Chains A and B, each alone.
Chain A
């Protein structure tokens, strides 16, 4: 067998951490990882945040982000150990032999330069192509990646194209210098599902047609299963399992891999709407101040006591705006909101304390929703004081009860948010909302920023709390797997309108309207060949029309 393109041996990577109130200390974040990548093959690196997958990917360019440093091991590319190379040789490697596609193309393009300038820069700078050749190549790549108007799109600035298009431009940028290896770092994570599928297909075809090898980094096993030949599962900087896609998906050996493969297996029986709705949105139309178009058009939904209404849609569909209208942050231009048998005033400033107490909210970013200088006890205790006037021992007792309910326990009472993990922070936010004893909690993308297994835990907790406290959730999300896991009723939103609305079974059973069909079929499934199947189906449908 010939020498592999990329050979990583016993790679160790360290970082300096600056914990609050402690002296900086050096820690190891990748503990001796080894793998090979043949020419033209795709290796998927998968793991949760902190698994070290991006760090390992970037080490193939001899690059450490921030305070990260490669402390040991070997990284061989094209037969030489790049960790022992001179800086000038590493510069020739970067952008020439190995290129990089980042998660957020929107941030990774320079706003002050045209797309074309940036796409061809590495190829020209590395002397691989002349400017003219590189531009011709870039246009061919724009075309191959399915970008509109490939002849002229290069003259645009990054802010003039959409997020999905920019992510394809970033792929063109990476492929333009004709590299041997491309590192894709979560290239579709920031995109909507319906956009993700097209970008994923474009990337897959580009890899196949150019014969480039790739490291594909993601936290989503279903996505990586569509594009990779091999998969390496990472956890806390260690290799957990390394094998072919087929073996990892269909015959995982390690418990952790099994958990990843079977994530989102919550079985939730939907409840029938029996009583009077606790929250009713009637004919609500709303627009933001100073704008000329409605972000919500005539929205009607009902939420029943102790049940969950999932509001699902892509970015810009108006689902978060609906939450703002219900909470009174954005007064609607038309329509009414009924809550527990009474009409809510439009503006939260004119609502009674009871109205405010019974309608609580949990946000996507638990990080910024808490005061970093308050302890968990203070954070949870605040609504107890404010709504119920609890003080001293009585308050402390109730805080501990709540901490037990969110499965953290008394020992967390004096901790600060910075000392908690992402999942623990979200649990504290849930306890804070529960402390008010609300009838309804609006959950705005509460699991979107979390790793799949952690998110799973949060969803289970929410379902459990619903049984105990009989609270209703208005659950806003873009993730259909989450919707399936917890909802009783579903409202699919598209461009400010409720596209489809009913019980979970009704909404998720065919016949579908076009948009719901597109949305449902775009959710990656954990099996090989899914991507090709969906694309083939869509081509057939559009050919049939």
Chain B
């Protein structure tokens, strides 16, 4: 088992290094944005003395390197600083937003990933026949239509006309799980439609690639049904490319849902970020950037590790 542990450890170490480099980029990027934080807090009419005092208070006179390490040290201890505009503690503010985003992403993933893989298997089973074509046509259509349009259309049909679900996805801690799920039903549906196509297409392509192998013929000559062949013999050998695409889509579900959050007025990270970008609230933007980067890198690391673990040659060395 030693070589495989080494490979996994390498992946984790590389991911941490990557995250560190991204944190430098995020910090440097927000530094070179035009505008002065003290100025934007105090407004145009501030006196030079007041500005100088505030700069000293905020540590803006320290060299950038010092400020980077102070920020990083804080972030590592869960202290993401204070929002300039509201004076709120960012960690607290992001905490509830992030858990809302995760809640939405979790349910969208819980539905879309199994569904996409199942549709992929189905498409392989009926390759080039009508079920395959129907699945491809449906998923490609749903990915091609802009998500806000799907959102509004569903809202009109399911919320306004049929009144099955609320049109605004507001959730709070006092709601039961059932109420919350009812509330996010529409955004979850839209997100599922958006991420389905890519995962389904990759499942189909990866399995079809394996279906040419000699061991598939062996399975066929054992008299197995097509679906058992695909599920038992083809799928285990195509996990690696599928997991990679699944993880990219999961990352999208966490960091890319700004439009959906706006459409359904959902209190998630995306809206929070957009609000504070427009207010030039640099510490909040940095914190959100760092969290999004961590999610992306973390999920891709998981994909890499699953790929390593899925390889029997690495799992069971000679």
Residues of chain A at the chain B interface (Cβ within 8 Å): 61, 63, 65, 90-96, 99-100, 102, 104, 107-113, 118, 121-122, 125-126, 156-157, 159-160, 173
Contact = CB atoms under 8 A, between A and B. Distances in A.
Given A107-B214, A110-B237, A112-B312, A125 B318 contact: no
B270 to A, nearest CB: 39
Contact of B222 (A104, A122, A156): A122
A118 B223 CA distance: 13
A102 B225 contact: no
B236 interface: yes
Q: Which 6 pairs, one residue from A and one from B, show the smallest C-beta to C-beta distance?
A: A95-B222, A94-B223, A107-B214, A95-B223, A122-B222, A112-B236
Interface in B190-238: 213-215, 217-225, 228, 232-233, 236-237
B313 interface: yes
Given A94-B220, A157-B312, 9 more contacts: A91-B223, A93-B223, A99-B221, A104-B214, A107-B213, A107-B215, A112-B236, A113-B232, A159-B316
19 contacts: A91-B224, A94-B222, A95-B223, A95-B224, A99-B221, A107-B214, A110-B236, A111-B215, A111-B312, A112-B310, A112-B312, A113-B233, A113-B236, A121-B219, A125-B228, A156-B316, A157-B316, A159-B316, A160-B318
Contacts of B217: 65, 102, 108
A303 B50 CA distance: 94
B135 to A, nearest CB: 23
Contacts of A102: 214, 217-218
Given A107-B213, A107-B214, A111-B237, A159 B312 contact: yes
A254 to B, nearest CB: 32
A100 B218 contact: yes
B221 A61 contact: yes
B21 to A, nearest CB: 29
B222 A125 contact: yes
A298 B222 CA distance: 50
A110 B211 CA distance: 11
Contact of A159 (B222, B223, B313): B313
A541 B232 CA distance: 47
Contact of B221 (A94, A109, A112): A94
A129 B296 CA distance: 49
B233 A110 contact: yes
A479 to B, nearest CB: 25
A63 to B, nearest CB: 6
A454 to B, nearest CB: 25
Contacts of B219: 110, 121
A126 B225 CA distance: 11
A100 B237 contact: no
Nearest to A123: B222
A102 B313 CA distance: 22
Contacts, number: 75
Nearest to A104: B214
Main secondary structure of the interface of B (DSSP, over half): helix
B7 to A, nearest CB: 17
Contacts of B224: 91, 95, 121, 125
Contacts of A110: 215, 218-219, 233, 236-237
Nearest to B235: A112
Contact of B218 (A96, A108, A156): A108
Nearest to A93: B223
A121 B312 CA distance: 19
Nearest to A97: B223
A99 B224 CA distance: 12
B260 to A, nearest CB: 37
Contacts of A156: 316
A92 B236 CA distance: 25
A310 to B, nearest CB: 33
B148 to A, nearest CB: 42
Contacts of A112: 236-237, 310, 312
Interface string B33-48: 0000000000000000
Contacts of A104: 214
B313 A95 contact: no
Nearest to B213: A107
Nearest to B233: A110
Interface string B116-127: 000000000000
Contacts of B222: 94-95, 99, 121-122, 125
Nearest to A99: B221
A111 B238 CA distance: 11
Contacts of A126: 223
A61 B223 CA distance: 10
Contact of A100 (B221, B232, B236): B221
A108 B220 contact: no
Contacts of B223: 90-96, 122, 125-126
Contacts of B218: 100, 102, 108-110, 118, 173
A92 B224 CA distance: 9
Nearest to A155: B316
A489 to B, nearest CB: 37
B86 to A, nearest CB: 53
B236 A95 contact: no
A427 B148 CA distance: 65
Nearest to A103: B214
Contacts of B232: 113
B316 A108 contact: no
Identify the interface centre among B213, B218, B236: most chain A CB within 10 Å of its CB: B218
A485 B210 CA distance: 42
A63 B225 CA distance: 14
A108 B318 contact: no
A160 B233 CA distance: 19
Nearest to A61: B221
Contacts of A92: 223
Identify the interface centre among A65, A109, A121, A159: most chain B CB within 10 Å of its CB: A121
B225 A159 contact: no
Contacts of B318: 159-160
Interface in B296-318: 310, 312-313, 316, 318
Contacts of A118: 218
